[in-house]
């Protein structure tokens, strides 16, 4: 079975198991999505949602973040971890949004990754969920599951992204990544995956071997 054939067999199985999927971060506009995704680095989405529930009431515009007091912002996002670096990047990111993009979140990979604190994972999530563009979001779940199933042999997130882009239909790429998050949390966990109840075991190279 080629990797493309494996993807073709995988898609209906994932659709049956996870018909309704979405980004698990809470946001109401592109800026909030960008900030929330930056905060999610090395932090659970559940924790980020707790932080942003109050954060987005206090800071409502790109100008609010750009002009934020660094020490105060650190305190506001402290429980998300790595708060000093995240606070610095959020302020710099929003300053650049104002200076270079009229305060709007841009819609290209090149522009998004020019923003402080914005790597390819964050950029792809914004491109896919906000702008509806083909996007492969390689988080810890995507990397682990894609490798176990046999869709990539790489560990580097950018290489995993490129491998998946070659074999996953563009209009399904973001959906697949969201399904991998659901699957990774419920079944294909990092330790002790539940292969005996896995809905995609029949197309997984590692079924019963992890």
Catalytic residues: 121, 139
Confidence band (pLDDT; 50, 70, 90) for 210?
confident
Beta carbons within 10 angstroms of residue 53's beta carbon = 10
Could you report the per-residue pLDDT of 152-201, keeping only the tens digit for each?
999 999 999 999 999 999 999 999 999 999 999 999 999 999 999 999 99
Confidence band (pLDDT; 50, 70, 90) for 131?
very high
Could you report the per-residue pLDDT of 14-73, keeping only the tens digit for each?
999 999 999 999 999 999 999 999 999 999 999 999 999 999 999 999 999 999 999 999
Beta carbons within 10 angstroms of residue 167's beta carbon = 17
Cα 141 to Cα 81, 149, 184, 192, 204: the distances in Å are: 20, 12, 5, 14, 15
Segment 110-119 shows an average pLDDT of: 98
Could you report the per-residue pLDDT of 59-80, keeping only the tens digit for each?
999 999 999 999 999 999 999 9
Could you report the per-residue pLDDT of 82-112, keeping only the tens digit for each?
999 999 999 999 999 999 999 999 999 999 9
């Amino acid at each position: 079975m080629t990797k493309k054939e494996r993807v073709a067999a995988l898609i209906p199985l994932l659709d049956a198991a996870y018909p309704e999927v979405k980004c698990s971060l809470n946001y109401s506009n592109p800026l909030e999505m960008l900030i929330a995704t930056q905060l999610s680095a090395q932090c659970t989405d559940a924790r980020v949602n707790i932080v942003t529930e109050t954060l987005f009431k206090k800071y409502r515009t790109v100008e609010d973040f750009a002009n934020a007091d660094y020490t105060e912002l650190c305190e506001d996002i402290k429980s998300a971890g790595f708060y000093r670096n995240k606070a610095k990047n959020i302020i710099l990111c929003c300053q650049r949004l104002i200076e270079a993009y009229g305060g709007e979140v841009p819609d290209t990979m090149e522009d998004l990754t020019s923003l402080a604190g914005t790597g390819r994972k964050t950029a792809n999530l914004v491109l896919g969920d906000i702008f509806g563009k083909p996007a492969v979001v390689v988080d810890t779940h995507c990397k682990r599951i894609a490798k176990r199933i046999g869709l990539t042999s790489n560990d580097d997130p950018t290489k995993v992204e490129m491998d998946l882009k070659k074999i996953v239909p563009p209009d399904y790429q973001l959906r697949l990544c969201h399904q991998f998050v659901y699957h990774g949390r419920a079944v294909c966990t990092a330790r002790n995956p539940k292969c005996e109840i896995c809905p995609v075991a029949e197309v997984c190279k590692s079924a019963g071997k992890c």
